[in-house]
Structure 1
Amino acid sequence: MPLFAAAASDLPAIADLVNSAYRGDSSRQGWTTEADYIGGQRTDAEILARDLAEAPSARLLTLRDEAGGPLLGCVWLEPAGQDAWYLGMLTVRPDLQDRQLGRTMLDAAEAYVREQGAGRVRMTVVNLRDTLIAWYGRRGYAPTGERRPFPYGDQRFGEPTREDLEFIVLEKAI
């Protein structure tokens, strides 16, 4: 299943997909929900457009059965220096999360950045996401020991309901 570059016209649907997979009641259909400790939106089309404009070497890729087909998932990829790429926003529709599409998309994203010359993939995950951290661990990602603060007060990232959120950094050599 190939990944396709997102077009500007895809951004509202991508934002809806990401929000449905991580926030609110719809996210509870899958296992990637953050709704128990972060409310509000995860992103919106304007934020995605601005982020792409500010990071012209970044790629927002979509997972579809075929070009122009229904949106099944998405992933953000961005060069992070010294042969590393940042992988973020790996998202699969909540009602399809039992089809191993996340694994398929992760494999395709790693192949994409390897073709760009990457030797490592880095990501950040909210520290409370034990199940997700374990899922990435089974795919070769390991904690680096680096932690980053959660952006409390920045509504672009949602409304946290806990004071103990932070990001842990995971990395994999590819």
Structure 2
Amino acid sequence: MHLFPAAPSDLPAVADMVNSAYRGDSSRQGWTTEADYLGGQRTDAQTLAHDLAANPEAILLTLRDEAAGPLLGCAWLEPATDDAWYLGMLTVRPDLQDRKLGRTMLGAAENHAKELGANRITMTVVQIRDTLIAWYERRGYVSTGETRPFPYGDQRFGEPMRDDLNFIVLEKAI
């Protein structure tokens, strides 16, 4: 497995993979779908480029079997505090989610953050995603008890089909 920071030329493929894993019918091939409660796109190449430019310490990691091979997964990392990094957009192609690539990508992202000085990883997960929350808990993440509101009206986060969404904050010492 090869882990690389995303190049600008990777951003369209990353956006396509993320959208296919979380939204629409293609997301139903895997178990990470949000299609039952969020419509629209999850991200696009322009948003990714903007977010990377706006936060120069952030990194979008990509996972491939071979250096020049197809994109298999990705994860977003950015500093949150002096000793914690935020992990977001952990994604594996939906047709490959039975290869345990999510575990590989998560471990690689945690190790990368640790190499950059992190002692903790934080993340947010939509509170109704019980299966995903349990998956993270099995990997050592715990709820901090903090919740954050869902950004209704901000199309960058999709088109909510429910009015009761919010995020819970999970954290893990690394």
Deviation at 1:86, TM superposition (A): 0.3
Deviation at 1:117, TM superposition (A): 1.1
What amino acid does structure 2 have at the position aligned with 1:130? Answer: D
Partner of 1:172: 172
C-alpha distance after superposition, 1:72-110 (max 9, x if no partner): 000000011130000000000000000000001101111
State whether residues 62 and 74 of structure 1, in contact with CA within 8 Å, keep that contact through their aligned partners in structure 2: yes
Partner of 1:162: 162
State whether residues 2 and 108 of structure 1, in contact with CA within 8 Å, keep that contact through their aligned partners in structure 2: no
**Separation in structure 2 between the aligned mates of residue 144 and residue 171 of structure 1, nearest angstrom:** 7
**Separation in structure 1 between the aligned mates of residue 2 and residue 105 of structure 2, nearest angstrom:** 8
What amino acid does structure 1 have at the position aligned with 2:144? Answer: T
What amino acid does structure 2 have at the position aligned with 1:166? Answer: N
Partner of 2:67: 67
What amino acid does structure 2 have at the position aligned with 1:108? Answer: A
Partner of 2:107: 107
Structure 1 outlier segments of 4+, above 4 Å: none
State whether residues 87 and 123 of structure 1, in contact with CA within 8 Å, keep that contact through their aligned partners in structure 2: yes
- 1:79 and 2:79 are equivalent in the alignment: yes
TM-score by length of 2: 0.99
TM-score by length of 1: 0.99
**Separation in structure 1 between the aligned mates of residue 155 and residue 114 of structure 2, nearest angstrom:** 34
Stretches of structure 1 that go unaligned for 5 or more consecutive residues are none
**Separation in structure 2 between the aligned mates of residue 114 and residue 26 of structure 1, nearest angstrom:** 33
Deviation at 1:2, TM superposition (A): 2.8
- 1:13 and 2:13 are equivalent in the alignment: yes
**Separation in structure 1 between the aligned mates of residue 9 and residue 34 of structure 2, nearest angstrom:** 27
What amino acid does structure 2 have at the position aligned with 1:78? Answer: E
Give the % identical residues: 79
* Aligned CA-pair RMSD: 0.6
For 1:1-174, list aligned pairs within 5 A: 1-174=1-174
What amino acid does structure 2 have at the position aligned with 1:118? Answer: A
Deviation at 1:68, TM superposition (A): 1.8
**Separation in structure 2 between the aligned mates of residue 78 and residue 66 of structure 1, nearest angstrom:** 25
**Separation in structure 2 between the aligned mates of residue 66 and residue 112 of structure 1, nearest angstrom:** 19
State whether residues 21 and 33 of structure 1, in contact with CA within 8 Å, keep that contact through their aligned partners in structure 2: yes
**Separation in structure 2 between the aligned mates of residue 157 and residue 67 of structure 1, nearest angstrom:** 31
**Separation in structure 2 between the aligned mates of residue 2 and residue 146 of structure 1, nearest angstrom:** 34
**Separation in structure 2 between the aligned mates of residue 66 and residue 56 of structure 1, nearest angstrom:** 27
SS at match of 2:21: helix
What amino acid does structure 2 have at the position aligned with 1:46? Answer: Q
What amino acid does structure 2 have at the position aligned with 1:37? Answer: Y
Deviation at 1:156, TM superposition (A): 1.1
**Separation in structure 2 between the aligned mates of residue 126 and residue 71 of structure 1, nearest angstrom:** 25
What amino acid does structure 2 have at the position aligned with 1:68? Answer: A
